[in-house]
Structure 1
Amino acid sequence: MLPTATFSWTKGYFAFPPTVTPKLDTRGHTPSASPQLPGHTESHIPEELQAQDEPSEHKSEEQAWEERRCRDAQVRAKRREMEQAEALLGEMDWIRLGGSLRDAYGRIDRVRTEQLRAEVRLQDEERRLMAQWDAYEERWRVSLVSTTPVAFKNLPWPLTAPPTSVDELTHDAIAEFLLAPLRVRKNTITKRERIRASLLRWHPDKTSWMFVRLVPDDFDVVREGIHAVFRCLKTLQDLERQPVNVSDATLS
């Protein structure tokens, strides 16, 4: 026999559908709205496991936000660094033209102006030394591959200008030329390394190639010049190997 529906109506602003009250069967069971299939059990995730997933998701969001914040900070710092470098270059160009820097109130900033003038002089000197050394290395490269005859003045002597005689190959002139580039702030070569490399280059046994293309009249003067350079380098090496006296270094 079908269950009998009991309807309950109410008046008001909302109308609700009639409520159907199922009748219990003789065994006292209420019909299930969604019957279970045989062998099937309803899956259920414990609340404590769901609660464990929430902190991990929250942590990953915080980590992503922190990484994004760090990247943005790095980008801003890099941009600020580039802007400061460009501003410094502009100020130094202005100093080279003879200008003076001014402070935020428009007054001449003598302290900063003098600081940048000193920096400009130092950079110009470093640029001159590096250009001088690069030209020396280029003369060596060209001399090694060239096939044309050469004279005494055409050889790559370690001097700022080509010598006209052996007398110009003095100890002080050679030492200043070879070691001055080491004062450049970006230099990574040590004094000992520079001396050793120059000794290998100017050793009398390593310079025989010079005489292959040398004009006959300059044989003696070139041989004398090579020995002058080598003696200077040996003296520099001996001085470099001497132990430093602590008391002398303190007094100096």
Structure 2
Amino acid sequence: MATTGYRFRRRVLLHSGTNPYYGLQYDLDFIGSRFPIYLIYTNDDVQSQCRPSPPRESAQKPFPTSCFARSPPTSDPAYVENYQRIFQHMNDPSFYEMPYFEGYTRSDCTYTPFLYEDGGMGRYWTNGTSTWFENQQQHQQHQHRRPNEVQEDLEANDVTDSDTFRPFIPPLYRTFENDFHCSTDTSEEFARQKAWDEISREIESEARAWSLEEEARRNASFREAERTREVQEEARRLQERSRVKEELRRKRIQEEMRKAREEEERERVRRKKAADERAMRHAWDVYEEKWTSLVIMSGKEDDGTEPLNFSSIPWPTFTKPSGLRSITPEAVSSFLLSPNHSTSQSPRERIKKALRRWHPDKFDRVLKHVVPDERALVEEGAGVVSRILSHNKLWRNKTNLSNSLLDNDVDEVNDG
């Protein structure tokens, strides 16, 4: 053949004495010799070619150079049936599931993997080569086998079939070694193809280097991002720890300030209470001293002492009243019943003693020592105090004393 290069081929043995599924045994009388014939299907010329294997005996007649005709060269019914059956299977897509890859060369093209002489076949047909018929037979046999035996056969066939019928994987790009068309101008084609191969290898090397650099860059970027994330996470933890510590310190300071304010407030209340107690005791002592002086003064007609006025009268209030409106039941009761003075006297005794002092009949002894201009005012004030002291409801609420006791005290004072 004149065509050179690679071809995908599927070979089917027509004649074999060992397995009828390779094709029925038939004596090729139409060429006067007996040797195997196989069909070759190529993907470049898309036609079936009948080629003889090398003759076993030199006395055999040469095989015709071509038998492309779809009709068999003999009228033998058995041969016609086998011939048509082969071509019928070739039209079945499953017939080409496992193509056979075979190369050949000419004297002007030495870049093919399987070499043999121009115009001759490179190797004999071997028994290990699987065909469509053999696959059908094995499939029928496996249907009646046990699972373990089927698995063993499949594993055994994988070694032979995968090596013999491995598919052809096209190259990624054309090179001088896998070009499908070899030119007769070897010098120019060789130089051009060699330059192209060098460029292709450089591109592939640069692509591989770029891929490695890109992978290294991505890894470095990932590591940098991881370090940045760790630093940010550590900074966030430190910031959170500092914030919590500052919050605790602020709360502690606030608590200390609150306690200090409370303590200060308690101290202020205590000091104020102590001052009020001292002031109340002092006011009570002054009140008692003045009444003692008034009692002494009232027993004399005129001893030449300074006359009394409204402000010099010892009224039963904590502060000196500025007028009659300042003499109220609350002021009188809080002064007389204060627990800060006269602890040896009961509330009833204090009220009874005050009733004797401020009774109108007894207070008349004091009025004669009051200046005439203020005598009426002092008399009215004494009446207000006397009415307050005689108000049973007020004292009952303050001292829990019964009305009978209070009435008895009032009657006793009035009778006395």
TM-score by length of 1: 0.45
User: Quick check: which one's strand share is greater?
Assistant: 2
Higher RCO (Cα < 8 Å, 6 or more apart):
1
TM-score by length of 2: 0.29
